[in-house]
Amino acid sequence: MTDKMQPPEVERTLSEKHRDFVASLTNELDLDARLSEIFLVAEDHRLVGDVRSHLSLEEGLRALVDVDDPTSGKDDTENTVVEITVSTLRELAESMRDIAPVHRLEFRTHTDVENDYQRRACGCLETRVVAHQYIERAVRSLIREISRPGPRSNRLASAREVADELRHAVEVEASARRSFSKAVEHYRSLARSISEALASDEQLSVAFRQAYSLAEDLDILHASINDFIDCNLENIDLDGFRLDGIRWSRSTRWPKSVIDFVKQHSEPIGDGIYMIRSL
């Protein structure tokens, strides 16, 4: 082109090219659909936010997971709140070791029975919901693995039967009608039975590892919520709390009102370690 284009012509040419480009891009991208998709995602996040605001699971965890400040010089009934995030049953089980004794007592004891005098806004029932979700997810995954097509054996049939029993127990206990410590005792016994039934079958090695891992997680959870070794419980009103299954040591400090009861109903399980028998 030899003639120099004048500014109006340049502007008109650019405007036409811009219009053609926008039209071409619009044909390639379904902008209306994309905007609708974005708005749907935003609505999903809003609804999830509304649910979280009502359930407040994170707040339940924060309310439970309190640890003592080692520099404060305070006893075990006073604690500092620590915010944590857990994503697995193992992490939740291990985090229970850091809970102040009074909250561990609440978590292992409290139920959701209507008019139960122990019900209070302590966050333990919300955390129990989280724990049951993790357990139920693991059990369903285990059942899927056990149910894969293949040769059947008596040990496999037995494992499947116990796994179904465990799944049913978790569904029933999710209503929190009895103490969590009692429920966990039942779960870990069933999970251990499943892993033992699958241990000798090489074709079920994946299922065995799942069952064994679940049993280990439940063992850790059970140990964590029952561990009161070296704890100071002197200033805690223990009336109404479930004490059977608790492990304690000679340096555990009890309220004077329960010292005789604890000694009478405990048995040695290790060097200087005792456990309160089932009542």
Calpha distance 165→143 (Å, rounded): 11
Q: List the chain pLDDT tens, one digit each, 279 residues.
A: 444 445 566 566 666 666 666 566 555 454 444 444 444 444 444 444 444 444 444 444 444 444 343 333 334 444 433 344 567 889 988 888 888 898 888 888 877 665 444 455 566 777 888 888 899 999 999 999 888 877 777 888 889 999 999 999 998 887 777 788 888 999 999 999 999 988 877 777 888 999 999 999 999 999 999 999 999 999 999 988 889 999 999 999 999 999 999 999 999 999 999 999 976
DSSP assignment letter at 151: -
Which residue from 241, 226, 209 is spatially nearest to 273, judged by alpha carbons? 226
Whether 78 and 213 map to the same domain: the answer is: yes
Whether 269 and 219 map to the same domain: the answer is: no
pLDDT confidence of residue 120 = 52
Of the three residues 185, 208, 227, the one that is the final residue of a domain is 227
pLDDT confidence of residue 257 = 92
Residue 75 contacts residue 234 (beta carbons within 8 Å): yes
Q: Tokens for 248, please give them.
A: 């304690």
Whether 250 and 182 map to the same domain: the answer is: no
pLDDT confidence of residue 66 = 42
Whether 125 and 202 map to the same domain: the answer is: yes
3-state secondary structure of 272: coil
Residue 245 contacts residue 259 (beta carbons within 8 Å): no
Task: Give pTM, 2 decimals.
Answer: 0.65
Whether 195 and 256 map to the same domain: the answer is: no
The answer to the question of residue 86 being in a domain is yes
pLDDT confidence of residue 108 = 86
Domain that holds residue 160: 53-227
Pairing of strands 66-67, 80-81: antiparallel
Calpha distance 188→146 (Å, rounded): 18
Q: 115: phi > 0 → left, psi -120 to 50 → alpha, else beta; which?
A: left
Calpha distance 100→110 (Å, rounded): 15
The answer to the question of residue 174 being in a domain is yes
DSSP for 180-214? HHHHHHHHHHHHHHHHHHHTT-GGGHHHHHHHHHH
Which residue from 203, 88, 188 is spatially nearest to 134, judged by alpha carbons? 88
Calpha distance 259→265 (Å, rounded): 10
Whether 180 and 77 map to the same domain: the answer is: yes
Whether 240 and 222 map to the same domain: the answer is: no
pLDDT confidence of residue 173 = 83
Whether 240 and 102 map to the same domain: the answer is: no
Give helix then strand counts, H and E, for the chain. 10, 5
* Cα 177 to Cα 119, 125, 240, distances in angstroms: 12, 11, 15
